[in-house]
Amino acid sequence: MKVPVRTNISFALLLLLGLIFLQSFTVAEAWGDYNISVNGSSISVSINTVYTQNVTGSSNPVYSTTLSGSNASDTQSALTSALANLTPGVSVSNLVMISSSTLNKTTTTLKFNVNGATSIERGALKINLAWKSFKVTSNITSSGISLNYVGRYLAQSPAWGNPSTGSLISWSYSEDGKAIKASESLAAASTFLLLDFSQLSAPLDTWHHTLSVDSGLSFRLNMNLNHNITAKETVHDPTAPFSGIFIAGFSHKVEIVIPDSPTIVGDELIINSSSPITETMIALSIAFPVVGVVAFFTERRLTSPNRTRASRKKNRGR
């Protein structure tokens, strides 16, 4: 019995696509953590990002690197600029960046402190966290490897920019769950950034929050972050139709912790003057000038008798 030529071609095509689609099931979604800890004027940030991709024809470079101290000065400046774009006057300090990558998985940890985001007004401590949705648009490199511009590796794949309609194969694209045109997909993939947290732009007063007293008073704000780009290929073969999804991106469970019960207005946390933290901050802001004044007058008091005796001796000499 003779098998139709079209069937042979279709079978070969399906077999080839099937092998490619196996790649779409080799990477499981992994959640990272984005934690902000606030204690008075001290704000510390820890972000662990697990970026995965299963896009055929694309692979990440293999590396392991650590940036800290003077080695991280350019990266720290880039983060300061990104945060200051959203909250003028803030800065980043004590940055440590640890990143490692395999062919389809990149794990990056950022740890740093944020300065200049707190103030005391009318006896209340105000904490501005509008910078939480920062996006680093500059490149960050180590030994010539791009740590932030992961999109340049995605752009190597032939999966982008294919026709959205076809008699046998059709493609569809989306970014962060929103459909994009096939003509826009390559640009979207090539500009994908690892340090992009703009999905967290919703004001804090819209986030889920809880108050806990189990191990001391603590207030927690929570949000989930998903940032990805997707290409879906569908084969419309009448005998064996199927589709494969290629995706690149990362997800975070975000949590902000403060050992108090603040009032939330937009992206600002306000702690009233009766709070132990605010009382401590106010006491310190008053104490430092007072200590300086006391030290000044103490020094004058200790040195004045010596000056008087010296003056008397001088007059006797005349």
pLDDT at 28 over 90: no
In whole angstroms, give the CA distance from residue 202 to residue 129.
11
In whole angstroms, give the CA distance from residue 212 to residue 259.
9
* Pair (265, 282) in one structural domain: no
* Pair (127, 171) in one structural domain: yes
Please state the domain count of the chain: 2
* Pair (173, 218) in one structural domain: yes
Q: What pTM did the predictor assign?
A: 0.79
* Pair (24, 146) in one structural domain: yes
* Pair (164, 258) in one structural domain: yes
* Pair (47, 64) in one structural domain: yes
Number of alpha carbons in the 13 Å side-chain half-sphere of residue 113: 10
For residue 259, what are the contacts with CB-CB under 8 A and spacing of at least 6? 39, 216, 217, 218, 219, 277
- Residue 183 contacts residue 244 (beta carbons within 8 Å): no
Q: Report which DSSP code applies to 206.
A: G
* Pair (199, 309) in one structural domain: no
In whole angstroms, give the CA distance from residue 159 to residue 230.
10
pLDDT at 214 over 80: no
The size of the chain, in residues, is 318
Of 21-35, 153-167, 177-191, 234-248, the least confident = 21-35
* Pair (314, 193) in one structural domain: no
* Pair (253, 211) in one structural domain: yes
* Pair (160, 295) in one structural domain: no
* Pair (290, 249) in one structural domain: no
Q: Name the residue type at position 3.
A: V
Q: Which domain covers residue 295, as residue numbers?
A: 276-318
**Residue 275 pLDDT:** 52
- Residue 130 contacts residue 201 (beta carbons within 8 Å): no
In whole angstroms, give the CA distance from residue 260 to residue 36.
14
Higher pLDDT among residues 165 and 160, named by residue: 160
Of 51-55, 116-120, 162-166, 287-291, the least confident = 287-291
Q: Which of 273, 290, 306 is the last residue of a domain?
A: 273
* Pair (174, 30) in one structural domain: yes
E-state strands within 161-241:
169-175, 178-180, 208-212, 218-235
